[in-house]
Amino acid sequence: MSTAPTSVIHDIGYKPYTGPRLGRAQIVRALYVHSVRSVFGLGRGPKAKIVPWFVIAVTMIPAALNVYAASINHAPVMAYADMGYNLMLFFVLFVAVAAPELVSRDLRHHTLPLYFSRPLRRADYPAAKLLALCTSLFAVEFLPVLVSFLGQVASAKSGHEIWLDTRDAFPALFVAVFQAVLFSAISLLMASTTGRRVIATGAIAIFFLVTTAIGHVFSDALGTTYSPRTTSCVVPLVNPNTAQGDIFGVGPDNGNGPPTAAVNQLCPGVDLRHDNIDISGVKDPNKPGYADLTIQYQVPVYSTIAKVGGMFNPADIVEGSRIWLFRATDGQIPNPSPLGPVYGAELLVLAAAASGGLILRYRKVSVS
């Protein structure tokens, strides 16, 4: 004897969604937030956090040393504007890992149809990814500058010193913004061509390393000659009671060496990182607490080939634009003058071309 199977209907209480539909803007916002979290490995496993937080830890070392130097009244270990260039390889490592994480994974796992099945335009996806990587890289680049600045301000003895530090920190903001935009756009464009993250990471790293090497070859191609210069300037004394001949009591370095920070800040055109600097001076009879300095130094004179070499490397393009815009004398590459406007134009064109190329890539990418 068989019994008929019995069936049970369960009321699971299904109700349709009747809340507000936030639409395209909310989707882009959510994609941006998710992408920023992915860059730093938030909500992911420990392996995803290794590279971004390693880069943050390493780049904070010079910032911590700058804070310590300020607390003992010494010149900064690394100037604000030098941080973006000197730490460039770590920022390349950051984007080489982050860019494939943002776009290559979606290509490999065919998740683009899911994104584009919603009210999301094709340009919204790369725009959100680009904004997320730019924001993340800018935060990583500007954090050591900000920490160094706060350390200098906390140790400042006057409002004038705070103003000098603010003026010196502003070019570093320029470098952080444009390096973040340029590095991010180029890296995402390259990563969007393959679904294999390892290949994308390698290609991005090789691109930046090779262009850097090319730039250095051009910079050193014909050597460097030097031209003598003499300038005069007035700088404040750290100790107004210092002896008449002790002009090395000027500025943060009140020991036996030249007053590097004060001279670099207050004497236009002088970069004390070069050799053959001769500083002499006396107290200013008309300005108590100040000294009149006479500085003899040499400035490097570069060939046109050396100046053109910086146009092959994204980091050098940003550095050359900084030198031109702020008339900097502490450049890490040959002074591009009179090619400074060319560097500035190339910076804008390259950033726009890489960003536009990324958007065009996703207008044509297959979603099958």
Looking at the structure, do residues 240 and 297 belong to the same domain, yes or no?
yes
Residue 85 is predicted with a pLDDT of 92
Residue 201 is predicted with a pLDDT of 93
Looking at the structure, do residues 189 and 229 belong to the same domain, yes or no?
no
The answer as to whether 315 is a domain residue is no
Looking at the structure, do residues 158 and 241 belong to the same domain, yes or no?
no
The answer as to whether 36 is a domain residue is yes
CA 13 to the chain's CA centroid: 53
Measured distance CA(311)–CA(213) in Å, rounded:
12
CA 85 to the chain's CA centroid: 7
Give the contacts of 39 (CB within 8 A, at least 6 positions apart): 52, 98, 101, 102, 132, 133, 136
The answer as to whether 337 is a domain residue is no
Residue 296 host element (H or E):
strand 290-301
Residue 3 is predicted with a pLDDT of 64
The answer as to whether 330 is a domain residue is no
**Residue 247: DSSP 8-state:** G
The answer as to whether 51 is a domain residue is yes
Total number of domains in the chain = 2
Q: pTM value?
A: 0.81
Looking at the structure, do residues 202 and 217 belong to the same domain, yes or no?
yes
Residue 90 is predicted with a pLDDT of 95
> Residue 235's beta-bridge partner residues?
291
Looking at the structure, do residues 235 and 355 belong to the same domain, yes or no?
no
Looking at the structure, do residues 213 and 251 belong to the same domain, yes or no?
no
Looking at the structure, do residues 212 and 352 belong to the same domain, yes or no?
yes
Residue 245 is predicted with a pLDDT of 44
Closest CA to 226 of 279, 293, 271: 271
Q: Which domain holds residue 232?
A: 225-301
Q: Which residues of 167-184 are buried (b: 16+ CB within 10 A; e: fewer)?
A: ebbebbbbbbbbbbbbbb
> Residue 301's beta-bridge partner residues?
225
For residue 96, which phi and psi values (nearest 5 degrees)? -65, -30
**Residue 176: DSSP 8-state:** H
Closest CA to 81 of 15, 175, 10: 175
SS3 295: strand
The answer as to whether 306 is a domain residue is no
Residue 105 is predicted with a pLDDT of 83
Residue 64 is predicted with a pLDDT of 94
Looking at the structure, do residues 215 and 285 belong to the same domain, yes or no?
no
Preceding amide of 285 cis, omega within 30: no
The answer as to whether 325 is a domain residue is no
Looking at the structure, do residues 246 and 179 belong to the same domain, yes or no?
no
DSSP state letters, 323-335 = HHHHT-S--SS--
Number of separate helices (H) and strands (E) present in the chain: 13, 3
Residue 350 is predicted with a pLDDT of 95
The answer as to whether 15 is a domain residue is no
Residues of the chain with pLDDT under 70: 1-5, 118, 221-224, 237-266, 268-269, 271-276, 365-368
Q: Which long-range contacts (CB under 8 A, 24 or more apart) does 220-227 make?
A: 220/306, 221/303, 221/305, 221/306, 221/309, 222/303, 222/305, 222/306, 224/300, 224/301, 224/302, 224/306, 224/334, 225/300, 225/301, 226/274, 226/276, 226/298, 226/299, 226/300, 226/301, 227/298, 227/299, 227/301
Looking at the structure, do residues 47 and 168 belong to the same domain, yes or no?
yes
Amino acid at the residue 227: S
Looking at the structure, do residues 212 and 264 belong to the same domain, yes or no?
no
Looking at the structure, do residues 260 and 118 belong to the same domain, yes or no?
no
